Amino acid sequence: MGRSFATHEAPTELARVGAQWEWKKSRRISDHWSLGGYWEVAVGYWRTLDRLVDHEVTDLSLTPVFRLERVSTQFGVIPYVELAIGAHLLSDKDISDRIRFSTSFQFADQVAVGLRFGARGQYDLSYCMQHLSNAGIDHPNPGINFNQLRFQYHF
């Protein structure tokens, strides 16, 4: 789950909850690093405060995420970097009075850095930069950027 603030004319808050399924295979690329990933399915809620009107949008997404992570450390903290491009479906194309997407279908590219920790590596804290736009499918294509602080618990 994460909470974000967009960096454009109208402040936008984002809360998201999701589920992840790790890929069965990861590949060791050096003595200390492996490359793997997971599928993430999520639902998000956006709230844009624009002058006198609140806009609300629901966001459904499916994202394959690639993760480069340290194999082991002596302190039990595992650093990682993630890259992803996913598909998002928005409930409304009007994000605010000043931001209107031309399509409900959007792509999101993101990069994240984080740490896994805990006795089983069950806790995960990360920072993620995410950009959503329709990748030029239609115009206008204003896009929106989110800066997210995420906390995850792995069962």
CATH of the domain at 85: 2.40.160.20
Give the structural domain span for 14: 2-153
CA 154 to chain centre: 17
Mean pLDDT of 25-33: 92
Mean pLDDT of the chain: 89
Please state whether 152 falls in left (phi above 0), alpha (psi between -120 and 50) or beta: beta
For strand 33-50 and strand 53-70, is the pairing parallel, antiparallel, or unpaired?
antiparallel
Distance from C-alpha of 56 to C-alpha of 92, rounded to nearest angstrom: 8
Confirm if 124 and 116 have CB atoms less than 8 A apart: yes
Residue 134 — pLDDT band, cuts 50, 70, 90?
very high
Specify the pLDDT at position 52. 65
- What is the domain count for the chain? 1
C-alpha angle 56-60-64 in degrees, rounded to nearest 5 = 140
Residue range 55-89, pLDDT digits in tens: 889 999 999 999 999 987 778 899 999 999 999 99
Neighbours of 57 (CB within 10 A): 20
pLDDT for 116 beyond 90: yes
Note the pTM of the prediction, 2 decimals.
0.87
